[in-house]
Amino acid sequence: MLSLRKKILVAIDGSPMSDKAAEEAIRLAAGNQGQFKSKVYAMLVLPNAPRTTFTDFVPPKPVTETEQWEEIRTKIFFVVEKIAEETGIPLEIKVAHGDPVDELLAFSERENIDVIVIGSTGKGFIRRKLLGSVSDKIVRNAKCSVYVVRG
């Protein structure tokens, strides 16, 4: 079997399910120990910054520009960074702002990602129909393979 380097994108949000998805992404990358090592991209998509109103004298800073950001970032990416370091898998951290589905899909196309690994929270039928599911939208619209990790 031909084993070339794979680019793996894992969606991270700090939840236990995203930690489990991160473990699976690293496991997938670690299974390819040939001449060409796979690379994992861990991506956090934050909502757009709140819009300022005419009553705001000083608009709020995005969370990535606050003093607490480094602590928040460390907690969110702790699992994926730890496992990648232990297994020697190349890891690149990405933080984007916007809609998670749009940002993940755009990144996967731009970087020619081979597989997207994403956790599924297992929302109920009603909630999923009203709010939609990020993992469902990724599965339906991705141009690459998608690995959905369930709890």
**CA angle, 77 as apex, 31 and 3 as ends, to 5°?**
15
Task: Answer yes or no: is 18 within a domain.
Answer: yes
Instruction: Measure the CA–CA gap between 46 and 99, rounded to whole angstroms.
Output: 8
Task: Answer yes or no: is 94 within a domain.
Answer: yes
Tokens representing 32 are 């390819």
Query: How many domains are contained in the chain?
Result: 1
Task: Answer yes or no: is 46 within a domain.
Answer: yes
Task: Answer yes or no: is 2 within a domain.
Answer: no
Taking the chain (151 residues) in runs of 10, the rounded mean pLDDT of each run is 75 91 93 77 83 61 75 91 94 93 96 94 54 81 93 75
| pLDDT 10s digits, 40-66 | 999 999 887 555 555 566 666 666 777
Q: Who contacts 33 (Cβ-Cβ below 8 Å, separation ≥6)?
A: none
Instruction: Measure the CA–CA gap between 84 and 132, rounded to whole angstroms.
Output: 31
Instruction: Measure the CA–CA gap between 31 and 124, rounded to whole angstroms.
Output: 34
Task: Answer yes or no: is 1 within a domain.
Answer: no
Q: Which residues constitute the domain of residue 30?
A: 7-51+60-150
The CATH number of residue 135's host domain is 3.40.50.620
